Structure 1
């Protein structure tokens, strides 16, 4: 019979050896506190990757193509109208 292997939970990285022995920088500590505060509020961090050269002609052409696809979809107008109905601009400053 195989011996059970102690594995970390799926999606979790094992703790780095010696972690905690090196003090965190002030900015790293602020980020940690901010993340803990957001987590306590029930929020989850989301990372959005942006290409390095978002001003390149290829990238702009791809964005244009995707916008044209969205605009050509008949349901996109229905969704946009629904969003405008739900939007609340009462506290916006002119």
Structure 2
């Protein structure tokens, strides 16, 4: 029982220090990568995104123009 109290106190101090540093705890839910079918679904979604990206030439032109703009800004400095 004493060991449990020590751990609880240590956790409380750690959390208090994090809060004092301006952080706050949150809880998030993420996909369970261990589930059957996860890898196949991830591959399917990646393929969909890659196909959409390959078809969107406007986005490629925009990114190329932005990159050129960055290169020009660096050469001016």
Shorter chain as normaliser: what TM range? 0.3 to 0.5
- Normalising to structure 2: TM-score of the pair? 0.45
Q: For CA contacts below 8 A with separation 6 or more, give which structure has more relative contact order.
A: 2
Greater share of helix: 2
Larger Rg: 2
